[in-house]
Amino acid sequence: MGDAAAGGITWKVMSIAFPLFFTNIFGLTVADTATLMLIARMFDVVTDPMMGTLADRTQSRWGTYRPWLIFGAIPFGLIFALLLYTPDFGPMGKRIWAYTLYLLMMVVYTAVNVPYGSLLGVMTTDDYEKNQFSAFRMVGAYAMGFITLLSFPYLQKFVGGSDQHQYAVLGAFFGLLAAAGTLACGLMTKERLKPVRAEKFSLKPFADLFRNRPWIILTLIGICMNFFNGFRYAVAGYMFEYCMHGNITVSGLIISYTVFMTFGEATCMLFGAISPVFTKWVGSKRKAFMWAAVICTITSILFFFIPMDPAYIWLMIAIVILTSVGIGIYSPLLWSMYADVSDYATQKNGTSSTGLIFSSGTMAMKFGTAISGSLVVLLLGIAGFASGTDPVTGQTTVTITDPISVNKMIWALFSVFPAIIAAIMWGLLYIYPIKK
């Protein structure tokens, strides 16, 4: 339920819908959108480790990590809802609204999701159970992601009105679901292990991180993993808007960019569930992750050679499904491997830094999606895409000076760029030292 809220609703919508929402519906310029996504999420690269340290030192009757979920649930859902609301402001007012709400969203996401990820380190000491728990959370994320993305165009049609009205209503609806899921997770879980706390606050845990070779490599792997996902999610909306020329209807099924990515979510959910079994079969998490990275590299290259034509939609979906086999396998492994790194650090340093180490996972996620999302918008701008708000009418404007160049860039951002990142990820896994 925790990852259904954070990963399946809020992060999924923020990764897939936000770039297109900000440029084509909200009315930010390409430069503002790129800067917003970069600054807000890079801000979290700093706050995530701080939140991890703060969570590690929390002591309450609800435990160490759970109170952050319990008391952060309502702000989490409320700010998400406000972020999808388009106020009737001019260009400067919209810019201030978007930057303020996006920064607040990143802060509250950190305050909820870093402690949530750290729960894995205080629920069991059994390594196979950690793999299973990681798989459960990924199934929750992908199952809810499947529901969110599949239902999105149908809910838009049901709500009716302008695009701005539709996104505002859906923001309130999904924000309520996210708050409820986060609160339920906080109330219904149990911390069975107590972290070995340092006697007083020290900067030593931060210094120890940079002497921890497995942590450094795994964090780079996590950044690459989120680069891979970030490029594909951020550009999917533009791909359907401009390369596919809008939604495609096949036998009554509306295939929008959210539904298109839903096929991948369903596959990730299935292979996330069997990831522990696959890992046991190949012999180690590292080997399983490497196989997944190879799958993602090959299928991403194959996608590039598909003709840019709606008639090939089922071939595109087939390649997305195959790519998602790799994503589904490696997604739960990252968090289980962070648990291994946490155990390694505890044995080496004598005190627990579980929250700090697990915050690296969300830090990598935000760093990867920040750079990739920002690059998507910037590269589209270089290719000839421009957007903004008319200062007189307040209406959103979109201009494309070179359609062929923009379409080629969109196609490459969904295929070639992720393929390169997956290949780099494989190289990092090759030198990762923990063989469990």
* DSSP-assigned states of every residue in 76-134: HHHHHHHHT---S--HHHHHHHHHHHHHHHHHHHHHHHHHHHHGGGGT---HHHHHHHH
Q: What is the per-residue pLDDT for 198?
A: 47
Report the distance separating Cα 199 and Cα 360, nearest Å.
Answer: 23
pLDDT band, residue 275 (cuts 50/70/90): confident
Strands (E), 175-234: none
Q: What is the per-residue pLDDT for 362?
A: 67
> Rg of the Cα trace of the chain?
21
Does pLDDT of 315 surpass 90?
Answer: yes
- Which pLDDT tens digit goes with each residue over 243-257? 998 888 887 788 888
Among 380, 16, 421, CA closest to 228: 421
Among 43, 156, 166, CA closest to 102: 43
Mean pLDDT lowest for which of 178-187, 191-200, 381-390, 400-409? 191-200
Pairing of the two strands 396-400 and 385-389: antiparallel
Strands (E), 168-262: 248-250, 253-255
Q: What is the per-residue pLDDT for 200?
A: 53
Structure letter (DSSP) for residue 250: E
Q: Model pTM? A: 0.75
- Work out the angle at residue 359's Cα, subtended by the Cα atoms of residues 355 and 363, and round it to the nearest 5 degrees: 170
pLDDT band, residue 354 (cuts 50/70/90): low
